A and B are shown apart, each in its own frame.
Chain A
Amino acid sequence: MTRTAVIFNEKATPDALVEFKDALSNTLTSILEPWSLEFKTFRKTTKNERSSNSSNIMYSVSFAHHDKGTVLIHDKYAIITTNNSNDIPKDLILNTCSTGTTEPIDNLLALRLSNIWSQRQGIRGDAGETLQTTNLIVRVVNLFSSTGFKGLLIELNSLDDDVSEEEFKISVDHVQTVLKDINCKDFKLSTDRLNFNENNGNRKLNILSDLAYQYIQVLEY
């Protein structure tokens, strides 16, 4: 199955993106369309004495790539929503479940549930570069929050649908070496999987929740 990894370097400078791209340029096969990303954190504002074991933090990761999905993660539960009204399953519309217009779930949270969940911080990356090497799709973007530059973020997708864990690790290691070469050392890497069940349902969507989980790992911990 397709494998993913996310790398984040908090100490990088905004220029590191160009350096990274140059360092990688020898191995590129093509340059694909730009991408962007939005990462939000919500904190629960309600008081609850009885069950304090559930997390007070909810994350939302919105992808402008990957079919415009938004993933909402709380504890280890994820739901994947679409922001593209054309992607609403026809069965939902024809059976009166859906009005045919969908909106981002993080909007719903911010708009209608802000008495329970208040948004903490938003991190954005706009107009990122998408680079294709022989075995990876490498997405790079500079992340910004309201206070300024946050760091360099790299998302790796295996090009091959059926790559083994070892093969993917070699590709990821190569990217790490490139990063070290350009003096971009203190990065966090996550290849964690939210769901370990390889046979679980729709893989394309499954990847989205893994990716969102990896974003949380590198951006929050």
Chain B
Amino acid sequence: MIEMIASLGRNTLARLEALGRSGLFLFHSIVAVPRFRSGFPLLVKQLYSVGVLSLIIIIVSGLFIGMVLSLQGYTILVDYGSEQAVGQMVALSLVRELSPVVTALLFAGRAGSALTAEIGLMKATEQLASMEMIGVDPLRRIVAPRFWAGFISLPILSMIFSVVGVWGGLLVGVDWLGVYEGSFWANMQASVDFGEDVLNGIIKAIVFGFVVTWIAVFQGYDCIPTSEGISHATTKTVVYSSLAVLGLDFLLTALMFGDL
């Protein structure tokens, strides 16, 4: 019993310590905003590998999720004779909820794990240490561009996800199931509000981008530099960021839409 309580305490302390370390780490990397001249090419490179290379998975998933939403929504709504509301249903669920959340989850799996593995491997092969010895802060040179790239990419990916999803919904709803296109758009535009829905969705994506990239780069930087440690850190990135995204999503939704 005593042993159990002690181990609980030990665990809590270790967690708190890791949290503190990651906070400090984040502070140092954010303070290390890349200087424009030398930092910009690094940022572009990371935007490419983090953002551009994630496009395919985002577009394909967005398309399918939009199509499924449209199909499911239609079969329910048609019972009430309001199948023209399918556009509004697809758009609202995408913009408010699914785009930021699904994008963040996919992003954690696709880009987050890659970031962790890359930084972890750099640590294991002493690249980070040798960079430090050359007199270059790896937080500034390695971590900061990756962090900013993730932070910038996720909202963009999420917006693209929304648009592609609505297009998928349009394909299924209008072209296949025969909902009148005019009412599809009109219903959507009448119910989706820019400030309330679109902007809140983007804010969610920004928050998720921050958290997911933070977790990914920290896990890489903090990993035990062995092959086992890296694989463990990669797993942790995906698990922690998925949990964080889902938990934060509830919190943000309650804050944004809770009083409606």
A binds B: no
Residues of chain B whose beta carbon lies under 8 Å from any beta carbon of chain A: none
